[in-house]
Amino acid sequence: MQNKSEIINYFKKKLEILKKHNHYYYNRDNPKISDREYDELKKELIILEKNNDVLKKLKLLSNIVGAKPSNRFSKIPHLQPMLSLSNAFDKNDMGDFIKKIKNFLSLKENKIELFSEPKIDGISATLIYEKGTLCKGLSRGDGIIGEDILSNLKTISSIPKFIKGENIPDLLEIRCEIYIGKDDFFNIKDKFANPRNAAGGTLRQKYSEETAKIPLKYFAYGLGVIKPMIFKTQSEFLKKISEWGFTTNPLVKTINGLDEVEVQHKKLDKLRSSLNYDIDGIVYKVNNLSLQKRLGNTSNSPRWAIAYKFSAEKAVTKIKKIIIQVGRTGAITPVAKVEPVTVGGVVVSNATLHNEDEIKRKDIRIGDTINIQRAGDVIPQVVSVDKSKRNKNSKKFIFPNKCLCGAQTQKEFSKNTKKLDAVRRCTKGYDCIFITKERLKHLVSKEALNIDGLGKRVIEQFWDLNIIKEPSSIYKLNYNKIKNLEGWGDLSIKNLKDSIDKSRKINLDKFIFSIGIRHIGQENAKIIASFLGSIKKFEELFNAKKNVKILNNLLELDGIGDTQINSLKTFFSNSTNVKIVKDLIAELKIDEYKIVKSNGIFSNKKIMFTGGFDNISRSEAKIIAENNGGKVLGTISKKLDYLVVGNSKPTKKKIDQARDLKIRILTEKEWNNILNN
């Protein structure tokens, strides 16, 4: 750059880019470049300004920079994971939730007390008090590791910094939701897309003085680690902490039975618009904390709580065309491309049509005027067709019977319903490029290889440019080609390389989940990994002869059934699938599966249950066995160490078989004695 005006123009251009990224980061809560790239850009501008008198006088930079943190906040592991909640959308879902809880706990009495709280649509945080003093404040982060945002949280005046009161536990962790009041949001609405983003952006300010400028509020809703534990119920906990000075939500209620669940849901839905904060549903929690403890968690959410979402927002639009999408399991999903319409603050241009039967049932056609709804984060759905607005010439939609790859599709026969499945599927596995692309997206996702910087959109881009064609190509990227693409620079390439390298080291269960075999989710992947133990053993699945024996053994495991075994069989009988998985393994370093509690009472013991127990369900018994180091099998074999016989309707045949094989048989009482000793 020769002259001053050129420098100033260059500076201004870069400054605009910086502003754009500030906007993505704060207003959208969706950064488009890495922190390092952002810092590099900022540094360049600072140096330019420092070395140029005109720029120095203009002070353009000081007006805008300083907002985004230079470094992310320091990371601190949570004392206890911050999980998410599963959703319910109607009375049926809520009925299922209650039924599952009763089954799990094997409850005899009719009613289980729930506690109802509004689900605040804000940003979650956790506050840790030691001997009554606030000493840590973390954001959720990825649920396992949070970010240290204590100084920003301290700007919220209603959060107690010291707790005064009696019997305050030495360690008290309070979970809460931070939000901006609707009235306060009104004053800053030009800067943020919605109150939730505003709260998120404000909490992430580097300088707490910036956070302090925006009036954040909070509601405390839950407990983390508490020592000593002095509470018996959720309602008692909230009452007590409110006496200690925490802000809790007033719209809470103890609830008994499904009918009361519905009444409360309708009541709050009506109240919703009059509140000064956004709520998007009701959280129903099992009120009794020791029952909560027994129920425990699945991979991502507690069994003892659910978010019952408010009914979806609706809008009217028109179907422009119907396209077909192929999912990672080969499922063919019809999608309506609709005229863009705003539903609940989000512009929608796609709506799912579910499957062929749904299109037939609702007689959905191209050109139709339709009612669509969007509930929570799920893809918008078509609720109804306005047939009065239909064009006379419109024709019934004929569902294609071929996949986008050209292969014939199939409907499976469901053993449960004794009917053909509603969903058509392509069965070509990695031989179908559309399935492959979806499997790649799954492979790089957070729960799988977790490759930062290689999200769904980048996979699409690299796929279209032929940079990635199968899983192993992720580890052989042509970075020279990527370097020339728009949006990629030296830094972002270095970051991508780093995160790809980091992903090479993976645990066996995660690896099994990553492959994306149908019916093998996170839980099943864990069960299989704990049985196989090492990648060497897993590789035996490639061998048609050995595979039969392993699959038979796998079938013995509790939780693995015919559905999973058939799916594994189908997967490994396809030579392309096998080759692709082999090539991927060659790039990875797969750790052996570590049994979490090898020193438990049932360490390395194989256990099987028959008959119902007096006070707990089979699911709970299984979890207890596993938590004590045991492996639970589903069929009798000589490998079994114990057959535990429950009092209610045990299978005689199993007991006889166990006797023949000289397997130790435990009564329910003996099992309890072993556990309690």
Q: Which stretch binds ligand IVH (CB under 6 A): 31-39, 77-85, 147-155, 664-672?
A: 77-85
Q: Please, which contacts does 535-539 make with residues 24 or more away whose CB atoms are closer than 8 Å?
A: 535/508, 535/511, 535/585, 535/590, 535/592, 538/508, 538/511, 538/512, 539/582, 539/585
User: In angstroms, rounded to a whole number, what is the distance separating the alpha carbons of residues 20 and 24?
Assistant: 6
Q: Does 220 bind ligand IVH (CB under 6 A)?
A: no
Part of the chain binding ligand IVH (CB under 6 A), chosen from 16-24, 70-78, 112-120, 397-405: 112-120
Comparing CB distances to ligand IVH, the nearer of 231 and 475 is 231
Q: How far apart are the first and last CA of the chain?
A: 80
Task: Please name the residues in contact with 346: beta carbons below 8 A apart, sequence gap of 6 or more.
Answer: 374
Mark the segment that binds ligand IVH (CB under 6 A) among 83-91, 190-198, 206-214, 620-628. Answer: 83-91
Task: Please tell me the total number of residues recorded for the chain in this structure.
Answer: 677
Answer yes or no whether residue 329 interacts with ligand IVH by CB under 6 A.
no
On whether the CB atoms of residues 67 and 201 are closer than 8 A, the answer is no
CB neighbourhood size of 17 (10 A): 13
The answer to the question of residue 223 lying near ligand IVH (CB under 6 A) is no
Q: Quick one: which H or E segment has residue 268?
A: helix 258-271
Closest to 105 in 3D by CA, of 308, 255, 293: 293
Distance CA 348, CA 332 (A): 21
d(CA 489, CA 59): 28
To which residue do tokens 């330019």 refer?
A: 48
Q: Which of 116, 124, 381, 514 binds ligand IVH (CB under 6 A)?
A: 124
- Work out whether 307 is an interface residue with ligand IVH (CB under 6 A): yes
* DSSP helix/strand/coil, 338: strand
Of the candidate spans 57-65, 82-90, 189-197, 500-508, the one that interacts with ligand IVH by CB under 6 A turns out to be: 82-90
Fill in the DSSP letter of residue 341: E
CB of 272 to ligand IVH, least distance (A): 14
Q: 120 or 585: whose CB is closer to ligand IVH? A: 120
Check residue 120 for interaction with ligand IVH (CB under 6 A).
Answer: yes
Catalytic annotation, pick one of 42, 68, 119, 428: 119
254 binds ligand IVH (CB under 6 A): no
Residues 159-178 binding ligand IVH (CB under 6 A) are 177
Point out which residues pair with 381 in neighbouring strands.
352, 373
Q: Does 370 bind ligand IVH (CB under 6 A)?
A: no
CB 223 to ligand IVH: min, Å: 10
302 scored as a contact of ligand IVH (CB under 6 A):
yes
d(CA 476, CA 499): 14
Q: Which residue lies nearer to ligand IVH by CB, 120 or 535?
A: 120
Alpha-carbon gap, residue 410 to 421, rounded angstroms: 9
The whole-angstrom separation of Cα 482 and Cα 467 is 8
320 is catalytic: no
Using CB under 6 A, which of 7, 8, 65, 83 touches ligand IVH?
83
> Per CB under 6 A, which region of 165-173, 300-308, 313-321, 365-373 contacts ligand IVH?
300-308
Beta carbon nearer to ligand IVH, 275 or 477: 275
Q: Which residue is nearest to ligand IVH (CB)?
A: 124
In the numeric block, the tokens 């809560």 are attached to 29
Is the four-CA dihedral 120, 126, 131, 132 of positive or negative sign? negative
CB of 124 to ligand IVH, least distance (A): 3
The residue from 37, 49, 117, 173 that contacts ligand IVH (CB under 6 A) is 117
Residue of 305, 432, 506, 527 interacting with ligand IVH (CB under 6 A): 305
Smaller CB separation from ligand IVH, 222 or 334: 222
Number of residues that bind ligand IVH (CB under 6 A): 14
The smaller minimum CB distance to ligand IVH, of residues 61 and 199, is found at 199
Count Cβ atoms below 10 Å from residue 645 Cβ, excluding itself. Answer: 21
Report the nearest approach of ligand IVH to the CB of residue 129 (Å): 19
User: Is 48 or 85 the residue whose CB approaches ligand IVH more closely?
Assistant: 85
Tokens at residue 600, please?
């438990």
CB of 357 to ligand IVH, least distance (A): 31
Nearer to ligand IVH, 86 or 553 (CB): 86
Say which residue the tokens 């929570």 belong to: 376
Residue closer to ligand IVH (CB basis): 303 or 328? 303
Helix, strand, or coil (residue 575)? helix
Verify binding: residue 633, ligand IVH, rule CB under 6 A.
no
User: Strand 253-256's sheet: what is its strand order?
Assistant: 87-88, 305-309, 279-286, 113-120, 253-256
Shortest reach from residue 252's CB to ligand IVH, in Å: 8
Based on CB atoms, which residue is closest to ligand IVH, 148 or 592? 148
Per CB under 6 A, the segment of 119-127, 527-535, 579-587, 613-621 that binds ligand IVH is: 119-127
Structure tokens at 524: 């099943």
Do 440 and 327 contact (CB within 8 A), yes or no? no
- Omega within 30 of 0 (cis) for the link into 471: no
- CB-nearer residue toward ligand IVH: 278 or 626: 278
SS (H, E, C) 638-659: CCCCEEEECCECCCHHHHHHHH
- List C-alpha distances in Å: 48 to 43, 60, 490, 589: 9, 11, 20, 45
Q: How far is the CB of 139 from ligand IVH (least distance, A)?
A: 10
CA separation, residue 340 to residues 52, 343, 348, 372, 548 (Å): 48, 10, 5, 11, 51
Answer for which of 221, 310, 538, 593 binds ligand IVH (CB under 6 A) is 221
- Sole window of 115-123, 315-323, 450-458, 666-674 interacting with ligand IVH (rule: CB under 6 A): 115-123
Closer to ligand IVH by CB, 140 or 328: give it. 140
The CA distance from 500 to 495, in Å, is 9
User: Considering only residues 68, 78, 119, 442, which one is a binding residue for ligand IVH as defined by CB under 6 A?
Assistant: 119
| 582 token code pair | 């082999």
The first and second tokens of residue 674, run together, are 């072993």
Peptide bond before residue 228 is cis, with ω within 30 degrees of 0: yes
Q: Choose the stretch contacting ligand IVH; rule: CB under 6 A; options: 10-18, 301-309, 482-490, 652-660.
A: 301-309
Under the criterion CB under 6 A, does residue 381 sit at the interface with ligand IVH? no
85 binds ligand IVH (CB under 6 A): yes
Secondary structure element (H or E) that encloses residue 317, with its range:
strand 313-326
- Candidates 137, 222, 600, 650; binder of ligand IVH (CB under 6 A) is 222
Residues that bind ligand IVH (CB under 6 A): 83-85, 117, 119-120, 124, 177, 221-222, 283, 302, 305, 307
Catalytically active residues are 119
